[in-house]
Amino acid sequence: MCSFAFAFRASESKQIENDIFGYYFISGKVPKAFADINHIHLAGNYGKQQKPLFYGLVRLKNGKDFPILSVTLNGKKVSFITKTVGGVHYYFNGTFTRLSDFPSNPPQGIILQGKLSKLKNNKKFADTNVKFRYEAGD
């Protein structure tokens, strides 16, 4: 009987799902080529439920958006590429410092870091190592 009770409890245990939904703001100084970025929005699980799928965007301070075409999350490693807008697009390849259900348990401090590249007419215009802090948003 005890083994049945143990097995029942084990089957009820809920696995924590990672959800990277949120807004990521560059922390520290950035080169002039990236100074116009306000934030990166990753749509996480919310975006997977949208039709069509929505991965997020890179939003500039002037309100211009660069929709993210795809996000690859492999363990803590993440990469994405944006749609080309006015001949420019962005590519990011980096690592989360940790993963969890961010909307339910917002992380503090630097949560994401890696290399952000800006391409103009499909040629690398600039790249920089960046660190991002997280905000859950509304």
Residue with tokens 């009987």: 1
**pLDDT for residue 137:** 74
Instruction: Tell me what percent of the residues of the chain surpass a pLDDT of 70.
Output: 88
Give me the chain's average pLDDT, please.
89
**Token pair 């950035």 in the structure block, residue:** 30
More confident residue, 38 or 48: 38
Answer whether 126's CB lies under 8 Å from 34's CB. yes
pLDDT beyond 50 at 46? yes
- pLDDT of 138: 62
pTM for the whole structure:
0.85
